[in-house]
Amino acid sequence: MFAFVVLLPIMVASTKMQHRATLSRQYKGLICIGVFMALNVSLNNLSLVQISLSLNQVIRASMPVVVAAVAVFVERKVPTRTELVALLMLTAGVIVSVFEGKAGGNTFGISLSITGVLCAAAMMSTVGKVLSEKMDVLQLAFYTAPVSSAVLLPFFWFLEKDQFLVYAADNGGAVLVIVLLGSVVALAYNVTHNLLLKRTSSVAVTVLGEVKIVGLLVLSAAVLPGESSQFTARMTAGCVMAMVGFCLYSNAKIVAARRGGPGGGTSGAARGTAPETRRADVEEGEPLLQAERPRPEQQAVIQVMDKPGKEHAPNAKFHATDGQMRVVANVQASAAANYMPHATR
């Protein structure tokens, strides 16, 4: 609830109608994000009581592959073959690097960790979808905070309440300082994480997370005394494999961006798809437009059929008469030429 309370003065500047419109349009995604976020944190922490940290890191190293699989269903983004190979290589490299040779734990703890990974993947993919629909990261943190608090409250009440009260009685004001600092760091992390996800993609964020792990391993071996002797040949091979996978994935994204592709695999929503590959929008008896956000050529169609510059709600449908269809076809052809990417001209 810390994020909700802190961001409340900022959010009251928006009108009640704006909040109502946002919640009515995206409440399902916001609820899913809040629930998945809370389950990810709680299940991962519970798993650390049952299994070793090494095994937990091995399981969570599979995050890029799991997120890519979930994104196929949530965001309609299918990774290319090159991206999939790169993700598998990156994941395998990190697993080889962090695994200590023995796995301590039980089936229940492993199940908790795997479920936490699935919840984290679902959360990140849903965040990517929601942030692409006219919502900023502060709004996302504000709306999801009460949901996450409601999910985490039973865990706290039945598992940690008694120990927390004893600790608070022994340490007094230090507990309040720790809680406040932890809340500030958590809010800053969530905002930064979601902002990075909005600017890139859910899969790209997990890839950067894997590179962070490799970087920490190499940095600790280079800086901390005594750690270099524990950096084995197996860890070196794993780090090299992970970095090769990262370079391969980055190259695939750069090539896709230069070709004018969506840059995140093949998108079923056709976001960023070239005009020549899209289905004709003007058909007899079919809705003229039905998209989450109008593209430049679609905006030209809206301006012809209605008042120029008028904003329309997402998923708005327009039906054209015979005369309008002829005008729209001409405008779309002109708009497609004007907004064609430079690389395809």
More confident residue, 313 or 44: 44
Quick: pLDDT tens for 170-229.
Answer: 887 788 888 899 889 989 988 999 899 888 888 999 999 899 988 888 888 888 777 777
More confident residue, 321 or 342: 321
Sign (positive/negative) of CA torsion 95, 96, 100, 101? Answer: positive
Helix (H, G, I), strand (E, B) or coil at 211: helix
Helix (H, G, I), strand (E, B) or coil at 269: coil
What's the CA gap between 20 and 136, in Å, rounded? 16
Q: What per-residue confidence (pLDDT) applies to 7?
A: 78
More confident residue, 292 or 210: 210
Assess whether pLDDT exceeds 50 at residue 269. Answer: no
- 113 in Cβ contact with 44 (< 8 Å): yes
Assess whether pLDDT exceeds 90 at residue 69. Answer: yes
Domain layout of the chain by residue ranges: 2-267, 275-344
Q: What per-residue confidence (pLDDT) applies to 137?
A: 86
Q: Which of 287-296, 317-326, 333-342 has the lowest mean pLDDT?
A: 287-296
Closest-CA residue to 113 (of 56, 188, 195):
56
Dihedral, CA of residue 261, residue 263, residue 265 and residue 271, to nearest 10? -60
Quick: pLDDT tens for 138-177.
Answer: 888 888 899 999 998 888 888 888 888 888 888 877 888 8
Quick: pLDDT tens for 99-141.
Answer: 876 767 788 989 999 999 999 999 999 988 888 777 788 888 8
What's the CA gap between 194 and 202, in Å, rounded? 9
Assess whether pLDDT exceeds 80 at residue 316. Answer: no
